[in-house]
Structures are given as structure tokens and as C-alpha cells.
């Protein structure tokens, strides 16, 4: 049995690759890869980071699905860095084959309410909810670029059914060993709201126009552009839908939020249909 903590990363895109890489300095890391599986399995991740430098990161194990990596030795941590797309899949269902009695489930995802499917399905498992501030992308399979600094905000999720103070501290120490900037807060939900103000304002506009935030801020016509988003689903529900539902539950009128939610939902629906056609 490995003396190192065992980490399973589910959703190893740019963010997942960066933090799996940093955790690998003190952990045994398995990554679940889909579109980038072949190249990562053979060559690893080619990472260029302004903060951490350049390196080829080869995970201890690379698999296509969670079911492929379930064995007699349980995982200490399951790190979820998938896009939060509740209208397409349930993250709890995806990780279920690998969850054991003592597994701590770690979320590094955008949006509100991302913890709920996990706590509903696994009420006895500790949950660590993290908000990431990082600029990273995977423009080609297995090739990761990270610009600037990064920071992870680790906070208490008060709606959790199981105490996770000890697990939060231990996982944070693993991140810190890898050079990650970790901040601690008492209420992670508050931080999610703070990041949401930015995400809900800029993410839909960037997605619908095909521009990044710098281009949007520099281009006065960006708000009126009607370019089709690149085709990958947007996190519409956790960034726009959940705040909209909570506003309506309080009797608040949010017409602009309602409008952008409708537009982005329609765009998502179109992108999904095109994706399914391409797979036929």
C-alpha cells in the first residue's frame, strides 16, 4: 500500500492538470482524462506556467473513466474539477464508483450550489469546497498554459452534513507543499457569491462573443456581438440559474439576469445538439 495520500482527479482539463501536478509533489495522483487521454497517457501534460515553470507532468495513472481506476486500495481524496453542468450530468454519479467510507471529496468548481449533489449523495463523506482564482487554458490536448499567479480559497461549507475541518487542513497542507497559494475563510459560500459577481457579468458575454475579458473590456462593440460560442457547454445553471432561482424565491425582480440566462440556455442547447450530431 502506498504511503502517499491517493488522489483521484476527475475532469483533468487545464485547472485539473495544474493542481494534480502540484499535488503530485507529495501524493500518488490518478487522472481521469477524456478528450486528452491518448496524448496524456503516452506523453503526459506539457505545462508552461508563469508561476511554477515548465515541466512535463506524468500522472501516476491515467484512465478514461472512474470505473477503470477502482481497485482494492481506496482514494483518500477525489478532486472534482469538472465543469459544473447539472443539466447534462450529475458529478455525484460520475465519482460514485470510487467513493469509499473514508474518502474526502474536494470541489474546485465555479458557481453556486455545486456542493449540493455531493452532500445529498454522500452525506457521511467530508467535503472540501474550494474557489479558484487562476488563469489557465488547454488550447491543444495535453498542452497547458498558466498565466500570472494563482490562489485557492478554502472555506467551510456550512450546509455540509459531516464536519470536514481536519480534512480541509490536511488537503490544504498537501497543496501548500506543491507551492500553491492557499487562503482560508470561514464561509466559502460568501466567496462563491463574490466570484459570481464577476463570472455572471463577464463569462456569458465572453462565451457568446468568443472574446476574453480583456478584449471585452477594450471593445465597446463586444456587448452587441453575436458570435457562436466555441461549442463546449457553458456553466449556465450554476453561474446564472441558481442565482436566478434564489432571487425568485426571495421575490426579487432580476430581468437582466433572467434575459442572459435565457439566451445562454438557448445557446447551450444548440451547442449540445451540434455536438451530438458530430458524434453520430
CATH class of 6-186: alpha beta
Q: How many Å apart are CA 236 and CA 203, to the nearest integer?
A: 9
Q: Where are the domains of the chain?
A: 6-186, 191-279
Measured between alpha carbons, how far is residue 276 from residues 34, 184, 230, 231, 270 in Å? 16, 41, 15, 11, 10
> Which 3 state secondary structure label does DSSP give 107?
strand
Give 227's pLDDT tier (boundaries 50, 70, 90): very low
> Which 3 state secondary structure label does DSSP give 7?
strand
Could you tell me the three cell numbers for 32?
481521469
Question: Does residue 125 contact residue 166 with C-beta atoms inside 8 Å?
Answer: no
Question: Does residue 131 contact residue 188 with C-beta atoms inside 8 Å?
Answer: yes
Helix H or strand E encompassing 87? none
Nearest Cα to Cα of residue 40 among 55, 60, 58, 20: 58
Share of the chain above pLDDT 90, in %: 70
Q: How far apart are the first and last CA of the chain?
A: 43
71 has a pLDDT exceeding 70: yes
Alpha helices, DSSP H only, in the chain? 14-23, 37-43, 91-95, 116-121, 165-177, 188-209, 213-218, 236, 242-249, 255-279
Q: What is the pLDDT of residue 268?
A: 80
- The predicted-structure confidence for 44-55, as pLDDT tens digits, reads as follows 999 999 999 999
Q: How many Å apart are CA 131 and CA 109, to the nearest integer?
A: 7
What is residue 18's DSSP assignment?
Answer: H
Bridge partners for 151 per DSSP? 133
Give 276's pLDDT tier (boundaries 50, 70, 90): low
Give 2's pLDDT tier (boundaries 50, 70, 90): low
Nearest Cα to Cα of residue 203 among 128, 274, 267, 278: 267
* pTM for the whole structure: 0.87
Helix H or strand E encompassing 8? strand 6-10
Amino acid at each position: 500500500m502506498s504511503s502517499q495520500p491517493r488522489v483521484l482527479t476527475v475532469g483533468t482539463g487545464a485547472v485539473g492538470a495544474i493542481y494534480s501536478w502540484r499535488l503530485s509533489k507529495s501524493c500518488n495522483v490518478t487522472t481521469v482524462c477524456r478528450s486528452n487521454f491518448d496524448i496524456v497517457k503516452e506523453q503526459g501534460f506539457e505545462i508552461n506556467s508563469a508561476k511554477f515553470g515548465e515541466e512535463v507532468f506524468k500522472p501516476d495513472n491515467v484512465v478514461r473513466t472512474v470505473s477503470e481506476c477502482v481497485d482494492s486500495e481506496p482514494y483518500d481524496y477525489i478532486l472534482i474539477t469538472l465543469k459544473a453542468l447539472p443539466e447534462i450530468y450529475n458529478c455525484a454519479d460520475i465519482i460514485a464508483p470510487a467513493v469509499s467510507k473514508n474518502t474526502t471529496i474536494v470541489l474546485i468548481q465555479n458557481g453556486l450550489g455545486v456542493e449540493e449533489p455531493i452532500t445529498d449523495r454522500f452525506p457521511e463523506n467530508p467535503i472540501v469546497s474550494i474557489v479558484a482564482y487562476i488563469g489557465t487554458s488547454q488550447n491543444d490536448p495535453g498542452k497547458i498554459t498558466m498565466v500570472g499567479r494563482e490562489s485557492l480559497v478554502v472555506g467551510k461549507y456550512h450546509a455540509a452534513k459531516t464536519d470536514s475541518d481536519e480534512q480541509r487542513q490536511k488537503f490544504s497542507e498537501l497543496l501548500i507543499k506543491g507551492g500553491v497559494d492557499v487562503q482560508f475563510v470561514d464561509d466559502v459560500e460568501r466567496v462563491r457569491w463574490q466570484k459570481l459577481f464577476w463570472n455572471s457579468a463577464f463569462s456569458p458575454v465572453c462565451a457568446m462573443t468568443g472574446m476574453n475579458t480583456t478584449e471585452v473590456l477594450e471593445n465597446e462593440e463586444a456587448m452587441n456581438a453575436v458570435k457562436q460560442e466555441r461549442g463546449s457547454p457553458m456553466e449556465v445553471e450554476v453561474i446564472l440559474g441558481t442565482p436566478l432561482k434564489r432571487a425568485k424565491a426571495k421575490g426579487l425582480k432580476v430581468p437582466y439576469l433572467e434575459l442572459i440566462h435565457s439566451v445562454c440556455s438557448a445557446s447551450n442547447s444548440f451547442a449540445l445538439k451540434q455536438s451530438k450530431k458530430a458524434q453520430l
